[in-house]
Structures are given as structure tokens and as C-alpha cells.
Amino acid sequence: MGVTEVNNKEIQVLACIDGAALTESVCDYSAWISQKTKTPLTLLHTINHHHETAVTSSLSGNIGLGSQEHLLEEITNLEQQQSKLKKQQGKLILQAAENYLQSKGVSGSTCSQRHGDLIEAVIDLEGSIRVLVLGLRGQVHDKQENQIGAKLEAVIRSLRRPILIVNDTYKEPKNIMLAYDGSKAADKAVDMVASSPLYKNLACHLVCVNKNDNTAAKLLEQATKKLELADDIKVISAKLKGKVDHELCAYQELHNIDLTVMGAFSHTRLHDMLLGSFTHKMLVNTKKPLLLLR
């Protein structure tokens, strides 16, 4: 396995992996997108050193003058060892992911390792990302089913690219649910579904949750016309009433939806602080992967 720097100019599917329980599923969904869109696949592992820096700062301030130089030297050596171990661990994670893909008949993926924070890495690579794929939970929250990853919300808010959030064992999508409310993000999702090879030969459940039947009907009609321009997409429209996140999750479960497509964080930050984020609720409550658009 060769670990290389990500090519910032080449458009790619970028799979973020850290060895957590969802790593194999992240690899599977990334490979599915890569193959259907004929886009190169890159496996990315990031090495975060923030914890080590914090340890050094806290210890160095408490060291007596006589022994300060000697102990700081030991701390520096320890940090270097930790850095090497993290780097080696990351390479093993990448190697295991590459071997897993090859066992599934997927070849040609690229492995990349970067020092620094995940958020910084994906922002730096944003121009080359076709779709970013990552798990709902990383190693920190691996066993906490009611939690989402510590960095996930920040990544979603920061990136202006499609993001697929994986939350369960891989199942090749045969149908999708497109949550539509007439917003710019929802219109963008409709245009993407209508034009992307990723959704060819899939059934698309176009779902609008609105208390006004006439409004919902008009919204569904205008979106359906766009989707029907793609001859290989079967459109099934549905009008729902009630609390949006509850209705969408219930519909998803009732109709065995494999993948949900929706806009992300359309409200202001203040709105989210006061009422809670709709996207966050969907991430926590949905049982299937979410493809989020900004």
C-alpha cells in the first residue's frame, strides 16, 4: 500500500476512516458512489495531535526550574513516539480498508494520510471532493447509538460539497427518499438527482411535509417535472402532515428507503441554538444513510 497526498485538483470520492465500527460501511458506500459515477476513490485518515499539545502545555507550566529542561526533553521524546504510533496505526487502518475493498472486487483506490484536524483537511480538499463519505460516529462515540460524531456537525457546516453520512451496515441502494420543501437546497437536490448517474435505475420517493395540501401539491408537481426528465428514474410522490423529522423517518421505515437525500442546516445558527437543528434530529433518528447538500 502506498500512502500519498490527496491530489487537490482531481475530483474524487473521499472516504474518511478512523477504524471505528462503521469503517467498512463507509468503504462500501464510497465504492458504490465511485463505481456508479466513475470517480476515483480516496481513503483518508487524519492524525490529530491536539491532545499531545495540550499535555505539553499543562505539564511544562508545573515543572520546577531545576528539572524543567530535562523533563521537557522527555515529554518531547514521548510526543514523538506517540506521533509515530498514531501514524503507524493510521497506515494499518488504511491498509485494512484497502484490503477490505479488494476482497469485494474493488481496486484502484488511493490511500492518504494527513496530519491535523479532520475539519481542516476536508476544507483544504474541498475543491477536489465530489462526495465526502464518513460515519455517523467515529471512535470517540463508537458505542453511543444516540450520539453523532464529535466533528460531524462542524464538517457539515463547513463543507459546501455533498456529504454522505453512513450509519449502518451497507446495503446497495435500490430506492431513495428525496425530502422536498421548495428551498434552494431542496431544488439543488432535485437537480442533482435528475442529472447524476448515481441515481440511474433507482426509485425516487419525493416527499413533502406541509400542513397545506395545496402548497404541498404545487411543490411536488414542480419537482416531479424536473425528475421525470430523467427517463431512468421512477418518481413516487407523497404529501405528509406533521412534525417534519418524525414524518420523514416514519416514511423511510414504512417504505424501506435505502438512502435519504436532503438539504442541510438551512436555518440560522441562532434558530438551531433555540429550537435544535432539524438536520441533527434526522441524523440521530434516521435508520439509513443521509446524503446532505448545502
Question: Is 289 within 8 Å of 279 (Cβ atoms)?
Answer: no
Q: Are 136 and 167 in contact (CB under 8 A)?
A: yes
> Is there a shared CATH topology between the 12-49+85-166 domain and the 175-293 domain?
yes
Q: How confident is the model at residue 279 (pLDDT cuts 50, 70, 90)?
A: confident
Report whether pLDDT(117) > 50. yes
- Give the pLDDT of residue 149: 66
Between 176 and 8, whose confidence is greater? 176
Query: Hey, where are the domains in the chain?
Result: 12-49+85-166, 175-293
Answer with the residue of higher pLDDT: 180 or 279.
Answer: 180
Determine the Cα–Cα distance for residues 131 and 150; give it in Å rounded to an integer: 20
Q: Work out the average pLDDT over 131-157.
A: 74
CATH of range 175-293; options 3.60.150.10, 3.90.226.10, 3.40.50.2020, 3.40.50.620? 3.40.50.620
**How many CB atoms neighbour CB 54 within 10 A?**
10
pLDDT at 138: 60
For the domain 12-49+85-166, what is the CATH code?
3.40.50.620
Q: If 0-12 CB within 10 Å is exposed, 13-18 middle and 19+ buried, where does residue 281 land?
A: middle
**Low-confidence winner among 6-15, 89-98, 207-216 (lowest mean pLDDT):** 6-15
C-alpha 167/C-alpha 288 separation (Å) is 6
pLDDT tens digits along 37-69: 999 999 999 987 654 444 444 444 555 545 667
Length of the chain as a residue count: 294
pLDDT confidence of residue 36: 95
Q: In what order do the strands lie in the sheet with 110-115?
A: 110-115, 41-47, 12-16, 129-135, 163-166, 290-293, 259-263, 175-179, 203-209, 234-240
User: What integer pLDDT is reported at residue 139 of this predicted model?
Assistant: 55
Q: In which band, very low, low, confident or very high, does the pLDDT at 286 lie, cut at 50, 70 and 90?
A: confident
Query: For 196-253, what is each residue's pLDDT tens digit?
Result: 999 999 999 999 999 999 999 999 999 999 998 887 899 999 999 999 999 999 999 9
